[in-house]
Amino acid sequence: MKIRLEIRKNGETVFEGILDATDAESFGTSWADVWNALSRQSAEAATSIGALYERLNERVPDQLNGAEISLTRM
């Protein structure tokens, strides 16, 4: 089934996309894709190698901490 995912934090959209989940494994794989997309966004925003290293290791959990996650079945 298709699921619309939106992650918002402090009133701003952090991630929005469509997941394709038919079972626990495909749902987990979809969330891994979300994690990778958030990591990629953080890497693109890094301004130095040190900032890049720090963002890769810590940024995704920081982005998700306190975020509102909504799932809507399509």
The secondary element (H helix, E strand) that includes residue 74 is none
Residue 59: the pLDDT is 73
pLDDT by 10s per residue, the chain, length 74:
899 999 999 999 989 999 999 999 999 999 899 888 888 877 666 666 766 666 665 677 877 889 999 999 98
- The count of structural domains within the chain is 1
Residue numbers of the domain that contains 30? 2-73
Rounded distance between C-alpha atoms, residue 52 and residue 38, angstroms? 13
Give the pLDDT score at 4. 95
Q: What is the pLDDT of residue 51?
A: 64
pTM of the model: 0.73
**Are 60 and 39 a contacting pair, CB within 8 Å?**
yes
Binning the chain into helix, strand and coil, the percentages to the nearest 5 are: 50, 30, 20
